[in-house]
Amino acid sequence: MSSGPMQDPSLEERILSQEWFYDFALPSGRRTKLYIPEVVEHIHRTRRDMMLAELEPLFAKYLTSLSAIDVASHQGWFSLELAKHCKSVLGIEYQARHVESAKLMAECLGADHVKFVQDNVETMPAGKFEPADIVINFGLMYNLENPIGVLRRCREMTRKVLLIETQCTILDLEGRIDSGDWTATNYMHGYWGIFAGNPDNIDGSASDIVFYPSPKGLCWTLNRLGFQDVRILVPPPGAYQQLATGKRIMVAAYLEPRDRG
């Protein structure tokens, strides 16, 4: 587990000289400056609270023996939250600037069991990283040109549970449509909406074309990939507006129902 906060005051000064996407508490009690509005920062706390509530039975059952992977780890806020409960955490992030920020924060907090690497889960080969008990995928799925491929990579890396938080289409469509010719049909289990990406945004997509999942479409895809127990989580009272209204969802996908703890 963690070796404890670092005593080098220059680390905090470097951190405080930057603006951050997340509200980090530093060892001195000071907090990071945000480059997003405080009202938007509430989304991170809602995500964290939903994540910890869902994983609490696993934490209680396995104590500190669990491993975790944070896909699209950004500046490492959720990785470092998981680190409080897991023996090891790997953060995977495609933007070098965010990887460096996450490494700096982990060093400052003394979280030496958390590692951050630069990689793009959308293009990396299968089997690159060892599976972990817990995989989280927050704020990524609606920034992808190849969302199904990313879900396949996440499935490969998951031993017990995958948590996904994403913007969604809200609306769902399902039903039979023609397939091949007018005498044959196939069943549509949901859909993925096509949107313009924003690769110029520091926190945006890598592609200029992205797909948002519909709730049923995402859940069906996870079932199809081998997750046996898939459900949309209920937001807590006081949740961030988008999660409270279903504009964003968090989905828990377990390979085995018993792995809930």
Burial of 165 (0-12, 13-18, 19+ CB in 10 A): buried
The two three-digit tokens of residue 119, written as one number:
């990689």
Closest CA to 248 of 37, 71, 42, 21: 42
Has residue 58 been placed in a domain?
yes
How many domains does one find in the chain? Answer: 1
Q: State how far the Cα of 47 lies from the Cα of 49, in Å rounded to an integer.
A: 6
Has residue 201 been placed in a domain?
yes
Has residue 8 been placed in a domain?
no
Has residue 24 been placed in a domain?
no
Q: State how far the Cα of 101 lies from the Cα of 76, in Å rounded to an integer.
A: 8
Residue 88 lies in domain:
40-260
The answer, yes or no, to whether residue 6 has pLDDT greater than 90, is: no
**Per-residue pLDDT averaged across 196-215, rounded?**
87
Report phi then psi at 68, rounded to 5: -145, 150
Q: What is the CATH number of the domain that holds 106?
A: 3.40.50.150
Contact 178, 164 (CB under 8 A): no
Has residue 35 been placed in a domain?
no
Report phi then psi at 248, rounded to 5: -125, 155
In this prediction, residue 259 has a pLDDT band, given cuts at 50, 70 and 90, of low
In this prediction, residue 38 has a pLDDT band, given cuts at 50, 70 and 90, of confident
Q: Which of 20-24, 25-29, 37-41, 113-117 has the lowest mean pLDDT?
A: 37-41
pTM as predicted: 0.94
pLDDT recorded at residue 13: 95
